[in-house]
């Protein structure tokens, strides 16, 4: 066996051996939240009375900003990417959120959020709604009052 053939054989063995030694990366799944209630312990309503529509939003709230009073007629949940947010209902329930927290929002309950911090809040919110149903209603624009 020539030197070149020996080298090629050793190279092939090394390549095959190294392929078998590597451990594939482990896939991890972590449940962040699974619930039938919103953060204030109210039961989530039944939904899907019409064609379903999923909306996913990334919302950025500047520091020292108060959101207008609003409600969501659809089930939604969010994941805080950055910052701190205080959510308050008109009945006095209060929730403090920070980076990495999950929220299951109240449905059809007036509330607002405040970023009292020094960095923007970034939150990704997933809305499970129906076609032709708004995901947010502002209190000062609600004609049903």
pLDDT in tens, 104-136: 999 999 999 999 999 999 999 999 999 989 999
* pTM reported for the whole predicted model: 0.77
124 found inside a domain = yes
Please report, for the domain that includes residue 58, its CATH number: 2.60.120.10
Helix, strand, coil proportions of the chain in percent (round to 5)? 15, 40, 45
| The two structure tokens encoding residue 96 | 């403090």
- Total domains present in the chain: 1
23 found inside a domain = no
Burial class (CB in 10 A: 0-12, 13-18, 19+), 97: buried
pLDDT greater than 80 at residue 96: yes
Give the range of the structural domain holding residue 72, as residue numbers without chain letter: 52-141
């Amino acid at each position: 066996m020539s030197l070149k053939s020996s080298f090629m054989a050793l190279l092939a063995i090394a390549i095959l051996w190294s392929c078998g030694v590597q451990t594939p990366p482990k896939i991890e799944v972590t449940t962040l939240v699974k619930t039938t209630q919103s953060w204030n312990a109210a039961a989530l309503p039944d939904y899907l009375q019409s064609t379903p529509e999923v909306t996913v939003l990334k919302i950025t709230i500047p520091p020292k900003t108060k959101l207008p009073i609003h409600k969501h007629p659809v089930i939604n949940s969010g994941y805080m990417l950055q910052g701190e947010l205080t959510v308050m209902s008109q009945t006095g329930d209060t929730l403090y959120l920070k980076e990495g927290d999950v929220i299951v929002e109240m449905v059809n309950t007036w509330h607002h959020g405040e970023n009292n911090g020094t960095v923007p809040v970034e939150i990704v919110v997933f809305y499970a709604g129906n076609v032709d149903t708004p995901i947010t209603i502002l209190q000062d624009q609600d004609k049903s009052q």
